[in-house]
């Protein structure tokens, strides 16, 4: 692959896992990582790639039009994989403004820069960029909530319920419009909940581990019966790779692990793993505490991944039992308790 890929948000959870995976898998590609280093971005996530000659880090904001425009020119960007976002639902309830700015306006800014660099006016792809692709990373939360049955497919109607998911839905629609209106070669993947190393402390699984080892209450919103479809982050990265390289222009692909668990099950499972690795007199389960529910808390997410499985040959490799053990161990090492 003779590509120089602009990766946005590569200092965050999924972006940093993706960059490591990608540089290991394709040593000949070049990656330019544009990240604002918000509270969620962490350069330590990129320790293993930072000295590679084909990797460049740029601290900056996807909303900065002149910066983004100059990056396309200076590095001759051939493709974009767009991870950067405000990503935490609880924050979007408290302070939605930044979600609209980064997730909606930031995505718009990137689309404009790609269009201006890759296309002639009007709608004609410049020869040098005929294979250039804009891959947008999105979420299953755009579909809203499921009841006890059913699965999200690519044709499920959008019905976002939080400012976060509404901002992601808006960005998905902008990406779609640049395909239909300008012929930009876009693809969007909508993935379920990821877990694994390098996830920010604020998210559910790192919260359970951190609270448990600090002997603090483990907060479970509502009755703990809400269901998420958990996917190991590396399996998401492999799905992105396939959709980026082989996905059809203008299409969307759902990615999910066929791994539905309710929140109480997740907390109990992690406590059992901790009971084995770091035993104490009473089980960590005693720390599980039910707290006030999240406003607008979606009940259930579950993905039908048959399109990416059948069209592109994707499947999840990691099983949840081994993936969650690896993840707990990674955090215990990070917190230097083992
Ligand atoms: P994250 O919060 O861990 O990382 C986001 C990164 O984006 C951070 O490094 C942050 O510094 C950067 N960033 C934020 N605003 C920026 C801006 N204005 N300019 C440049 N950089 C900026 O998020 P994540 O969990 O890695 O999610 C990555 C993407 O995947 C997001 O688009 C998210 O919506 C999507 N997604 C996440 C999940 C999940 O379970 N975490 C599931 C499906 C989809
Ligand atoms: O302390 C907690 N207690 C709790 O019960 C936290 C932080 C969460 N929860 C619940 C809320 C959810 O039902 O756990 C579930 C998972 O919560 P989060 O980790 O905040 O994830 P979620 O809201 O499902 O969204 C995640 O998956 C989809 C990511 O943060 C999004 O970026 C992604 O799009």
What is the tens place of the pLDDT at every residue in 188-244?
999 999 999 999 999 999 999 999 999 999 999 999 999 999 999 999 999 999 999
Question: Would you call 201 a catalytic residue per the annotation?
Answer: no
Average pLDDT over residues 166-182: 98
Which residues pair with residue 229 across a beta bridge?
A: 260
Do β-strands 288-291 and 218-221 pair in parallel, antiparallel, or remain unpaired? parallel
User: Residue 41 C-alpha to ligand 2 middle, in angstroms?
Assistant: 18
**Mean pLDDT score across all residues of the chain:** 97
pLDDT, one tens digit per residue, over 8-19 is 999 999 999 999
Average pLDDT over residues 279-284: 97
Which residue has a Cα nearest atom 20 of ligand 2? 203
Q: Ligand 1 centre and the CA of 82: distance in Å?
A: 9
Q: What integer pLDDT is reported at residue 37 of this predicted model? A: 99
> Which residues lie below 8 Å from residue 256, measured CB to CB, with a gap of 6+?
140, 152, 191, 192, 229, 231, 302, 303, 304, 305
- Looking at ligand 2, which atom is closest to the CA of residue 298? 13
Q: With cut-offs at 50, 70 and 90, classify the pLDDT of residue 124.
A: confident
139 CA: nearest ligand 2 atom: 34
pLDDT of residue 174: 98
Rounded CA gap, 170 and 183, in Å?
Answer: 19
Q: Whose CA is nearest to atom 27 of ligand 2?
A: 193
What was the pLDDT predicted at 122? 67
Q: Which of 82, 220, 96, 229 is nearest to 162 (CA)?
A: 96
Residue 113 reports pLDDT greater than 90: yes
Let me know if 331 is a catalytic residue.
no
Q: Is the pTM higher than 0.90?
A: yes
Q: Rounded to the nearest whole angstrom, what is the distance from the C-alpha of residue 312 to the centroid of ligand 2? A: 28
pLDDT for position 186: 98
- Please indicate whether residue 172, judged by its CB atom, sits closer than 6 Å to ligand 2: no
Ligand 2 site, residue 209, Cβ cutoff 6 A: no
pLDDT in tens, 18-56: 999 999 999 999 999 999 999 999 999 999 999 999 999
Q: Is the CB of 228 under 6 A from ligand 2?
A: yes
Q: Kindly tell me if the per-residue pLDDT of 1 is higher than 70.
A: no
Q: Give percent above pLDDT 90 in the chain.
A: 97
Domains annotated on the chain, with CATH: 4-196+231-258+302-318 (3.40.50.720)
Strands (E), the chain: 4-8, 30-35, 55-59, 79-82, 119-120, 124-125, 134-139, 186-191, 194-195, 218-221, 227-229, 231-232, 252-255, 260-262, 288-291
Marked catalytic residue, from 35, 61, 86, 140: 140
Select from 10, 11, 12, 108 the residue to mutate for testing ligand 1; criterion: most ligand atoms less than 8 Å from CB.
Answer: 12
Is pLDDT of 81 > 80?
A: yes
Q: Does the annotation mark 141 as catalytic? A: yes
Torsion of CA 207, 212, 213, 216, to 10 degrees: 90
Weakest-pLDDT range from 95-99, 122-126, 192-196, 253-257: 122-126
């Amino acid at each position: 692959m003779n590509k120089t890929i602009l990766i946005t948000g590569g200092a965050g959870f999924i972006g940093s896992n993706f960059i490591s995976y990608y540089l290991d898998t394709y040593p000949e590609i070049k990656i330019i990582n544009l990240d604002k280093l918000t509270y969620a971005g962490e350069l330590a996530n990129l320790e293993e790639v930072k000295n590679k000659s084909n990797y460049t880090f740029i601290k900056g904001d996807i909303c900065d039009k002149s910066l983004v425009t100059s990056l396309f020119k200076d590095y001759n960007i051939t493709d974009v994989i767009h991870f950067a976002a405000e990503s935490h639902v609880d924050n979007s309830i408290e302070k939605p403004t930044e979600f609209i700015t980064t997730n909606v306006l930031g995505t718009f800014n990137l689309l404009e820069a790609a269009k201006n660099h890759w296309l002639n006016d009007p709608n004609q792809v410049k020869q040098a960029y005929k294979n250039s692709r804009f891959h947008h990373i999105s979420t299953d939360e755009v579909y809203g909530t499921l009841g006890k049955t059913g699965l999200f497919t690519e044709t499920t109607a959008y019905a976002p319920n939080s400012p976060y998911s509404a901002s992601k839905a808006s960005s998905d629609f902008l990406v779609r419009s640049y395909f239909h209106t300008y012929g930009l070669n876009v693809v969007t993947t909508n993935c379920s909940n990821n877990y694994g190393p390098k996830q920010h402390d604020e998210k559910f699984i790192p919260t359970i581990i951190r609270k448990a080892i600090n002997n603090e209450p483990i907060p479970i919103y509502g009755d703990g019966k809400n269901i998420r479809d958990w996917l190991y982050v590396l399996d998401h990265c492999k799905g992105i790779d396939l959709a980026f390289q082989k996905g059809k222009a203008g299409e969307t692909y759902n990615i999910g692990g066929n791994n539905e668990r309710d929140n109480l099950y997740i907390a109990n499972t992690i406590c059992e793993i901790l009971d084995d690795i770091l035993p104490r007199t009473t089980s960590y389960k005693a720390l599980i505490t039910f707290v006030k529910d999240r406003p607008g808390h979606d009940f259930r997410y579950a993905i039908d991944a048959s399109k990416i499985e059948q069209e592109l040959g994707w499947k999840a490799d990691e099983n949840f039992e081994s993936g969650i053990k690896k993840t707990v161990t990674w955090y215990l090492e990070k917190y230097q308790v083992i």
